[in-house]
Amino acid sequence: MRLSLKLLWKKLLPAIVLLGLLTQCVGGSGDISPVLPASLLKEAEAAPAASGPEIHVDVLFLHGSGGISAAGILHHLRQTTVANARLTVRQLDAAAIDDSYDLVYLDRDLTGEPAWPEVRDRLIAYVEQGGILFLSHEYADAFPAAFTGIAAMTPIEDTELNFAYPEVRRNLQGIQRVWQSFSDIYGRYNGLNPKFHIHFEEGAVTDQAVPLVKKGDLALLTANQAGDGTVIWANNFLPNEQFITRFDLQAEEGQKYFHFGYASANYLFRTELIKFAAKEHHGFSVQKAYGPYGRPGMAWQAHYEALYSFVLRDMIKFTELLEKHDQVPTYSVVRGSYNGGVWMESLRYLENIGTDQAPRFVNMESDSFFSAGRALTTKKANIHFGRVPGYNSFLSQLDTSCRAYPTAVDWNRDGATDFIIGTHDGYVYFAENDGEATDLVFKKPVKLKGVRTDSDAAPFVVDWDGDGHPDLVLGSGNGEVVLYRNNGKNKLKLAGTFTAGGQALSVAGAAAPAAADWDGDGIPDLIVGDAEGSLHLFRGTASGSLELHPAEPIRADGEPVNVGRYAAPFATDWNSDGIPDLLVGTESGEIVLLEGREDGTLTNKGPLTGEEYNFFGTNTIKPGRNAVPVVVDWNGDGKKDLITGHLEFGSPYAIDSPLFPYPKDLRGNLRYIQRKHLPLIPHMYLHEYMSDEREKQEIALHKAAFHALGLEWDDDMGVNHHTWRINKDALQTFRNQREAGIWWNFGFNPPNVSTAPRDGAEFLFVIPFLLPDDSGDTPSEPFMLFSPAPHPLNYGMAWDSLAQFDIPLINFEHIEHSMKPGTDLYEKLLKMISAMNRVRETHKYTFMTEQQIARSLLNTFYADVKVQADGGQIYLTPDGSQVPANVKEYAGTLGVKLELGEAYADREVDTSGMFYYEGNGGHYIGIPGPTAVDLVDSSKITERLHVVRSNGPVAFTVREGALELQLDAQGMQEIEIYSPEPLNVTGKNLRVKRDGNHYTIIHYGERAQMKLKIR
């Protein structure tokens, strides 16, 4: 019996062991407590006991008696991310310069100040006693050579970005790295025009100074030990003031535009100066990081504009595609959705808001979008006809005679004005008024039977024979004009071709006729425009006759009129003075007024204008291309109104319009994104020339459209811009957006910049920043500005460079019509996704929405950190009391980067905190609460479990030997955990990837919960 029990035990033992292992894999019985930081355990104190004096980095900025010359310096110093920095701003002759300051920074051009000689001597004494002084280019010879370490300055003629970077001591490497990163990127991608943008002027022949950057034998960035302190000098190349680099985008001394690249490089350079001062005087620097718990985020910025893409479900498809690759989108939705690349024959109405004697027009109205005035519609859609073949952008040069060519008439005699409309394909349509007499609603246009030309049908209704029935004069693309007579029952029959001087009337292509008794003899005449932009007068010979007198050129100011191409005339008494005038539509889309004078001649008064300026910076009425004017008192108020036929871009619809062609598809896409807990923000169509009132109205309309579609928009909204444009007065746009509840703008083009975000040279280097208040301070109410990163496929090196500074990375793309597998556009998207994931893993970024990035950055700009040091310990105490409420769930997620200077070069870092990552020459530490950092001989951080990165807030609970985590970043939650022991990770719908001791966990939904145990 005893033997059989032994045999039984021997057989059962492997099964028991296997069962135990399986139990650990499924539920995990290993207690995780031994690998947790003490701060997470119940018996630990709530916070480490801080001791030691509080440490600050004090910066003095000196300016002249006339005020601050380069406000960009002030803005950059005030928004530094160095956690414990304090800035004092003083006039040169009123400053106490003593050892209470760690760094002194001079404004530009102070040597002409009366107080300069005395202050210069005080600055020398300050540095010799241990201070740090930064000198911009012009101060190289304003101090003794023994002080600057610069023996002489030598001119530099060439403009090549060919620099050498000598090895320098540890504390100086950050300053050197900014210069190298900026110049490498702009050199690699030819981002600076040598003729206009690169002006080294001269370099330094060094004596005692240490070169940080060299060009040949000359130094462009130097550091010199003067007594116990350091003086740093930089060539004009960096920092650079030739562009606007102020964070309010305002120009100084003729600067033309805000340069994101130089603003970013200047800012990073100045931040590294402050960090240098911290390392010199305290042995380390603490810098607030761009992202939750110390790690930055990356995001998609998907502009969504195209009408038919809602039908194609591209928004849904792209979201699903990203989910397969552990990414998440941010969509911005335009108010006026349109057919991209499409130009269509269309009609618009512009109401006269002036008088009959002096007509005035609004021009750009609420739903004009790329056109002017209001669209003529049916009860279901905008009226449009043919389209220009191929893809043509809004700014494309078109070579086409396409246009809708209207003429007004009460064709069915019901008291309402109808339209007869010619099209490029030669057909003629009847559009019957289908509403009240003054509505812009018509029945679906139908072709007039038996009436057409080979191309470019240009009708004009007139009672040519005086029988009381409207006849139809019809121009054609071959330059001829024919007459269709009305039999009295609205049946039109071809009467023949007009002749002139005994020969067939013919002009240079695309004949555009207008009938009027031009010479007042009681017989109708024809004024015909042609494809070359000229106007021809054919005087009538007799009522109803097809025989006309030979052509005479229409003259204005004594010269034959030529308006470019595709002249389309309309005769009217525009100013009601009893003298006939001419309106002439042109290829450009403008409508020129030729005003009649008492002597019977015409004078060119230029194009008609309106109250509001258009996208192109003019207030000319420009509904599209190839404009055709028709004058009619449309609303019966006794004043001349304007109808235009033309070629119009996009045929746009407001997304909340009852005429929106795909309402079910639109709402289906939007609801899907909402169910995914992802934000939807406005993709706003503004431009440089929009008035303040009109801009406010457009923002309000966009907000109303969002509300009509059930989309959130309260006081927590972001924005980016269709065509990237904002007002030339950038502060107007930002002010209006802030008043509408918008507080972050991550996609705009600064005024006067000729390129655009992502693809332009001005955007190879980007940083986020706050719009300062009027005094240059951090505003109490935030307005955050940022730009997409350079194109990840075209400028991949720039992404890695920005990642050195932990800059959030946002990739802009239009994904509409790109979601068909196997196409070039789809393959391009896949390459972008792959490129982003490469940077994400290489540099330990997390994926976020733009909204989440904006919220997390509020901690960076508004939270304070109390820094204390006591021997080998540093205590970090965050203070989020000044962080705006917009931070929402990201409150308490601040992280910092700790860089050890030369004084602690031989030390390693340990921390009481749960968040830690080492990279980019520093230690990233999340500080949701007071956190102790130990500077030790040998760190034990690898012996403890910690979070490497997270895209949002993390809550920890230790219960029954397990660590429970809750992640509250809506949409997608991402976290990477390091553990010295194998983990068992459990939770619903988790994607767990293990790489050695690292576990990356991703979850999609509103929030994620998980439990960790030792396996």
List pLDDT tens digits, range 487-521.
999 999 999 999 999 999 999 999 999 999 999 99
- Report whether pLDDT(10) > 70: no
Nearest to 292 by CA among 1005, 781, 954, 1010: 954
CB-CB neighbours of 308 under 10 Å: 17
**Mean of the pLDDT values across residues 798-813?**
98
Which amino acid is it at 162?
A: N
CB-CB neighbours of 884 under 10 Å: 16
Is 698 within 8 Å of 690 (Cβ atoms)?
yes
pLDDT digits (tens, 9 = 90+) for 171-209: 999 999 999 999 999 999 999 999 899 999 999 999 999
Query: Residue 486: its pLDDT value, please?
Result: 96
pTM beyond 0.85: yes
Tokens 């929030």 -> residue: 1007
Cα diameter, the chain: 137
- Report whether pLDDT(14) > 70: no
Nearest to 999 by CA among 1013, 973, 979, 980: 979
Angstrom distance (rounded) from CA 603 to CA 581: 9
Angstrom distance (rounded) from CA 570 to CA 628: 8
Is 375 within 8 Å of 406 (Cβ atoms)?
no
Query: Residue 687: its pLDDT value, please?
Result: 96
CB-CB neighbours of 958 under 10 Å: 15
The more confidently predicted of residues 26 and 657 is 657
CB-CB neighbours of 792 under 10 Å: 23
Is 752 within 8 Å of 726 (Cβ atoms)?
no
CB-CB neighbours of 620 under 10 Å: 20
- Return the CATH number of 400-616+627-648, one of 2.70.98, 2.40.350, 2.115.10, 2.40.50: 2.115.10
Reply yes or no on domain 298-338+655-850 having CATH 3.40.50.970.
Answer: no
Contacts of 591 (CB under 8 A, 6+ apart): 583, 584, 585, 607, 608, 621, 627, 629, 642, 644
Give the rounded distance of the alpha carbon of 541 from its chain centre: 62
Domain with CATH 2.115.10 in the chain: 400-616+627-648
The CATH H-level superfamily of 57-288 is: Class I glutamine amidotransferase (GATase) domain (3.40.50.880)
Q: pLDDT confidence of 48, banded at 50, 70, 90?
A: low
- Report whether pLDDT(152) > 80: yes
Half-sphere exposure of 61 (CA within 13 A, CB side): 22
CB-CB neighbours of 927 under 10 Å: 27
Angstrom distance (rounded) from CA 385 to CA 441: 16
- Which phi-psi region, left, alpha or beta, contains residue 576 (left: φ > 0; alpha: ψ -120 to 50)? left
Nearest to 448 by CA among 428, 470, 474, 422: 428
Report the relative pairing of strands 864-870 and 873-879 from DSSP bridges: antiparallel
Q: pLDDT confidence of 438, banded at 50, 70, 90?
A: confident
Q: pLDDT confidence of 13, banded at 50, 70, 90?
A: very low
pLDDT digits (tens, 9 = 90+) for 569-608: 999 999 999 999 999 999 999 999 999 999 999 999 999 9
CB-CB neighbours of 840 under 10 Å: 20
* Cα Rg of the chain, angstroms: 36
- Report whether pLDDT(23) > 90: no
- Report whether pLDDT(977) > 70: yes
Handedness of CA 833, 839, 844, 846 (dihedral sign): negative
Query: Residue 99: its pLDDT value, please?
Result: 94
Query: Three-state SS for 673?
Result: helix
Is 597 within 8 Å of 434 (Cβ atoms)?
no
Angstrom distance (rounded) from CA 189 to CA 764: 9
Nearest to 341 by CA among 375, 389, 297, 391: 391
Nearest to 817 by CA among 299, 386, 342: 342
Angstrom distance (rounded) from CA 581 to CA 853: 59
Burial string for 370-380 (b: 16+ CB within 10 Å, else e) reads bbbbbbbbeee
- Report whether pLDDT(8) > 60: no
CB-CB neighbours of 31 under 10 Å: 14
Domain with CATH 3.40.50.880 in the chain: 57-288
The more confidently predicted of residues 39 and 839 is 839
**Mean of the pLDDT values across residues 87-100?**
95
Give the rounded distance of the alpha carbon of 6 from its chain centre: 77
Q: pLDDT confidence of 235, banded at 50, 70, 90?
A: very high
Tokens 């071809």 -> residue: 494
The more confidently predicted of residues 4 and 612 is 612
pLDDT digits (tens, 9 = 90+) for 259-314: 999 999 999 999 999 999 999 999 999 999 999 999 999 999 999 999 999 999 99
Angstrom distance (rounded) from CA 838 to CA 843: 8
pLDDT digits (tens, 9 = 90+) for 309-365: 999 999 999 999 999 999 999 999 999 999 999 999 999 999 999 999 999 999 999
Name the average pLDDT for the chain: 95
Q: pLDDT confidence of 27, banded at 50, 70, 90?
A: very low
- Report whether pLDDT(47) > 70: no
Is 972 within 8 Å of 847 (Cβ atoms)?
yes
Domain with CATH 3.20.20.370 in the chain: 298-338+655-850
CB-CB neighbours of 95 under 10 Å: 20
pLDDT digits (tens, 9 = 90+) for 822-850: 999 999 999 999 999 999 999 999 999 99
Query: Residue 912: its pLDDT value, please?
Result: 87
Paired tokens of 554: 């229409």
Is 806 within 8 Å of 174 (Cβ atoms)?
no
Q: What are the respective helix, strand and coil percentages of the chain, to the nearest 5?
A: 20, 35, 45
- Report whether pLDDT(763) > 50: yes
**Mean of the pLDDT values across residues 385-398?**
95
Half-sphere exposure of 26 (CA within 13 A, CB side): 6
Nearest to 783 by CA among 847, 843, 719: 719
